[in-house]
């Protein structure tokens, strides 16, 4: 009986994640069959994926005659284009959302198990992991993200893999780590900003913080430089009628004021935490 219970608890995280993923796919399929997804953005994104494969015109939107790259710098999104060789269904983009989320969450679960390996029994860690997976897949925010299919969710799997590889810390993983990081920050023009702080935050989870930062200082510095180059030069060179700073207008209207506004958000953390306002705090970062 004890062995059966142990087996059940160890398998519980996988069961929870598979059930949540299948449920999300079924929900998205019913919405898709009911015509709940329109041109923005399912048809639009599927269009420039298809044009990349069949007409060698990546990011070209047939309906508007424009290059989508002019509106959002997303060079590594095309890594998903080969999937469109297997189906012509418009449902592929909505379906990729739960799949990407499942890959990322399972990778983070494995990372969690590695971090607590010497602190918690396997069954306790698995039970906690199952609970965390249930929370992550069952929130209103997760449902909202999945019900508005877009390519930003492609950021999660490479970012999660980069985090896992960084903690594993084997020399043979450095190339894979950099590859995952490059894919993640190329998903959108501001992805490097999120990667910079999220990946850097791993230093507070590992036992040797200084060693982690020393090993990954070059990667973090590259992300910061990439962010500056894309936002200050690449974005303005490609875009017409729009600013590459538009995602941060709530922080300021110039690079300097945006940087100051971002730093001011960090200064608000102690006050927000004092009132347990985690939701408003997260929203304030955009």
Give ∠ CA 134-148-103 in degrees, rounded to 5: 45
User: What's the mean pLDDT in 12-25?
Assistant: 96
Residues 242, 283: Cα–Cα separation, whole Å? 24
Task: Give me the pLDDT at residue 192, please.
Answer: 93
Where does the pLDDT of residue 286 fall: very low under 50, low under 70, confident under 90, or very high at 90 and above? Answer: very low
Where does the pLDDT of residue 257 fall: very low under 50, low under 70, confident under 90, or very high at 90 and above? Answer: confident
Where does the pLDDT of residue 157 fall: very low under 50, low under 70, confident under 90, or very high at 90 and above? Answer: very high
Q: Residue 194 class from Cβ within 10 Å (0-12 exposed, 13-18 middle, 19+ buried)?
A: buried
In terms of residues, how long is the chain?
286
* DSSP character at residue 68: G
Task: Give me the pLDDT at residue 260, please.
Answer: 79
* DSSP character at residue 45: H
How much is the pTM? 0.88
CB 186 within 8 Å of CB 192: no
Residues 64, 258: Cα–Cα separation, whole Å? 32
Q: Which residues 6+ apart lie within 8 Å of 25 measured at CB?
A: 95, 98
Residues 175, 183: Cα–Cα separation, whole Å? 12
Place of tokens 């998205």: 28
Look up residue 91 and give its two tokens.
């449902």
132: phi then psi, degrees, rounded to nearest 5: -65, -40
Residues 241, 256: Cα–Cα separation, whole Å? 21
What pLDDT digit, counting tens, does each position of 161-214 carry?
999 999 987 667 889 999 999 999 999 888 998 999 999 999 988 888 899 999
Task: Give me the pLDDT at residue 231, please.
Answer: 84
User: What's the mean pLDDT in 239-255?
Assistant: 67
Average pLDDT, the chain: 86
What pLDDT digit, counting tens, does each position of 83-95 carry?
988 888 999 999 9
Choose between 5 and 157: higher pLDDT.
157
Is residue 39's pLDDT more than 80? no
61: phi then psi, degrees, rounded to nearest 5: -100, 115
């Amino acid at each position: 009986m004890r062995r059966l219970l142990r087996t059940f608890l160890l398998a519980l995280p996988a069961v929870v994640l598979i059930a949540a993923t299948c449920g999300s796919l079924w929900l998205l399929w019913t919405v898709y069959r009911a015509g709940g997804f329109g041109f923005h953005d399912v048809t639009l994104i599927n269009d420039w994926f298809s044009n990349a494969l069949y007409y060698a015109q990546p990011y070209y939107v047939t309906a508007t005659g424009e290059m989508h790259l002019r509106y959002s710098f997303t060079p590594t999104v095309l890594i998903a284009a080969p999937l469109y060789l297997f189906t012509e269904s418009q449902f592929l983009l909505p379906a990729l959302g739960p799949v990407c989320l499942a890959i990322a969450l399972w990778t983070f679960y494995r990372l969690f198990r590695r971090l607590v390996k010497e602190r918690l029994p396997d069954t306790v860690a698995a039970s906690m992991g199952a609970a965390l997976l249930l929370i992550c897949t069952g929130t209103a925010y997760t449902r909202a993200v999945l019900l508005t299919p877009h390519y930003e969710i492609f950021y999660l799997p490479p970012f999660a893999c980069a985090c896992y590889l960084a903690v594993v810390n084997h020399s043979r993983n450095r190339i894979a780590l950099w590859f995952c990081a490059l894919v993640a920050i190329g998903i959108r023009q501001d992805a490097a900003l999120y990667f910079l702080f999220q990946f850097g935050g791993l230093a507070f989870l590992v036992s040797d913080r200084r060693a982690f930062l020393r090993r990954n200082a070059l990667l973090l510095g590259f992300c910061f430089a990439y962010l500056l180059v894309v936002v200050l030069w690449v974005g303005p060179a490609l875009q017409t009628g729009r600013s590459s700073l538009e995602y941060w207008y709530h922080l300021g209207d110039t690079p300097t004021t945006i940087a100051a506004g971002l730093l001011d958000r960090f200064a608000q953390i102690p006050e927000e935490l004092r009132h347990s306002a985690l939701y408003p705090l997260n929203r304030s970062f955009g």
